């Protein structure tokens, strides 16, 4: 056990110091699930009569994956990716400070996304990835196209026009 503690302390020593308390609080406030874009998409799908599982853990051969939204019967996994964390080609930015830390971290996020997509596809799942900057209508259309079929009983029309 003593060796593990030493490794943990070494990892903490390499962790970059925050620039200020405000930045540190901002980073702590980032959520893993139930983000605003994800909630907007879930609300829109639910209003249209679609039922799903949220943050559902899938234990696949060689990978453990947690889609934001999972249609288990249809085997469709939906991910709502943030532009910063998943390196959006249109809006993703690289931090100017602590690049030695952020560049590999963000690259690992992209690699993990690609590995999750490959594992899900190999297991017979259809993967839908939408960026947080995409319109809500576009994201809903992409998910419905993947899930297929129409649902009766959903409310017509949406008042929200984008994720933000």
CATH number, position 106: 3.40.960.10
Looking at 10-14, 26-30, 40-44, 108-112, which range is the least confident one?
A: 10-14
> How many domains does one find in the chain?
1
The reported pLDDT for the residue numbered 51 is: 95
For residues 126 and 3, give the distance between their C-alpha atoms in angstroms, rounded to a whole number. 42
Task: Provide the 8-state DSSP code for 16.
Answer: P
pLDDT tens figures, 65-109: 999 999 999 999 999 998 888 889 888 788 888 788 888 888 999
Asked if residue 52 is part of any domain, the answer here is yes
107-125 burial: b if 16+ Cβ within 10 Å, else e:
eebeeebeebbebbeebeb
Distance CA 94, CA 10 (A): 26
5, pLDDT greater than 60: no
Residue 158 resides in a domain: no
pLDDT over threshold 90, residue 53: yes
Token code pair at residue 150? 């129409």
Q: Look at residue 15 and tell me if it is in a domain.
A: no
Domain that holds residue 90: 33-147
Is residue 153, in this structure, part of any structural domain at all?
A: no
């Amino acid at each position: 056990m003593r060796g593990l503690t030493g490794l943990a302390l070494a990892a903490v020593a390499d962790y970059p110091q925050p620039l200020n308390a405000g930045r540190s609080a901002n980073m702590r406030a980032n959520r893993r699930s139930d983000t605003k874009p994800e909630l907007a998409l879930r609300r829109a799908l639910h209003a249209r009569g679609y039922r799903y599982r949220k943050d559902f853990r899938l234990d696949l051969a060689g990978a453990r994956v947690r889609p934001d939204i999972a249609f288990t019967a249809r085997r469709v996994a939906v991910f709502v990716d943030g532009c910063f964390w998943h390196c959006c080609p249109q809006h993703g930015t690289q931090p100017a400070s602590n690049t030695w830390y952020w560049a590999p971290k963000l690259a690992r996020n992209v690699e993990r996304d690609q590995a999750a997509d490959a594992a899900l596809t190999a297991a017979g799942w259809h993967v839908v990835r939408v960026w947080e900057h995409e319109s809500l209508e576009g994201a809903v259309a992409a998910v419905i196209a993947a899930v297929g079929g129409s649902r009766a009983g959903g409310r017509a029309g949406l008042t929200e026009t984008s994720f933000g």
